[in-house]
Amino acid sequence: MVRPRGVSILYIREAGVAMNTSGKVCLVTGASTGIGKETAVGLAKTGATVVMAARDASRGEEARADVIRRSGNPNVELLLADMTTTGGVRSLANQFLSRHDRLHVLINNAGGVFKEHRKNDEGMELTFALNYYAPFLLTHLLLDTLKKSSPARIVQVASEMQAKRLDIAQLTDPVPYKAMQAYGTAKLAVVMFTYALARELEGTSVTVNAVHPGVIYTPQSARMAPSFLRPLMKLFMSDPVKGAEPSVRLAVDPALEGVSGRYFKQLAEKRTGAFSYDWQQQDKLYTRSLEWAFSPGKVQTHL
């Protein structure tokens, strides 16, 4: 797989590359609000069939109608799934595969922070389950379809707030639980998964990259902020339209064909922390995640 050095989306954007994805199928998780919905709008405007995944039926249908109206593209679908549970992720994959036999773009956008320590039915802490395990599992459930549809692209929505390192033994149930620390750890895991998966996918014409969308005002960011700061947030944070642009570019820009295993901060490629590039740590995380995903029984919270 060709992986050019020093590629910058900012340069590509300024070059004004036209994008047309008519006939392609894109799946976006967390698509009912914020960056996810704007990503769906951006993809729909290029002519793709866009499948939006959301948890709430009412908000999802409202978002789908808005995407169709703003993009002028009627080929927008809605699937419902709870991405905090293994069953919900598997249900989403099954729903998608019952409708489509091709997938050209997968954008793992769903994410969030749970202030209180909570677990899903498998015993996995929810911030980790939603931000890391759900995209890991969904990607693998759809990987054969992506390969069959190649060239195909996977985009992982990450964050600059990633931790410096992680302890695999503490991932699924950190003690003590600190919400933002759990979020940062999960986002580091996403980046490490991206690098490891890129190595696995070499030679397949399926690429995978991670992106930090910027500091974006979304319903999730508003909920997490102290109430006295919320009126000021829109003054200092970008809107979801701007936050969606990097994901859309990574998904469909022809100038990024073959680029894989990279991390982008908004519109430019950046390096992440040293720990994230440790192949041994990547492989440990990858192997453990495969065990969670495809071994029988509930998640073992500690090694």
Q: For residue 233, is pLDDT > 80? A: no
Give pLDDT tens digits for 85-94: 999 999 999 9
Which one from 183, 195, 263, 286 is the annotated catalytic residue? 183
Cis peptide before 246 (omega within 30 of 0): no
- Answer yes or no: are the C-beta atoms of 61 and 100 closer than 8 Å: no
Neighbours of 58 (CB within 10 A): 9
Q: For this structure, is 183 an active site residue?
A: yes
Q: What is the mean pLDDT of residues 266-282?
A: 95
User: pLDDT tens-digit profile of 33-68?
Assistant: 999 999 999 999 999 999 999 999 999 999 999 999
pTM listed for this prediction:
0.89
* Omega of the bond leading into 151 within 30 degrees of 0 (cis): yes
CB 16 within 8 A of CB 253: no
For residue 178, count other CB atoms closer than 10 A to its CB.
Answer: 12
| Intra-chain end-to-end CA distance of the chain, in Å | 35
Count of residues in the chain:
303
- Yes or no: is domain 9-214+241-290 CATH 3.40.50.720? yes
Structure tokens, 44: 């729909």
- Segment 124-175, tens digit of pLDDT: 999 999 999 999 999 999 999 999 999 999 999 999 888 999 999 999 999 9
pLDDT digits (tens, 9 = 90+) for 179-200: 999 999 999 999 999 999 999 9
Task: Give which of 103, 143, 108, 119 is closest to 36, Cα–Cα.
Answer: 108
Q: Can you give the residue ranges of every domain in the chain? A: 9-214+241-290
pLDDT at 20 over 60: yes
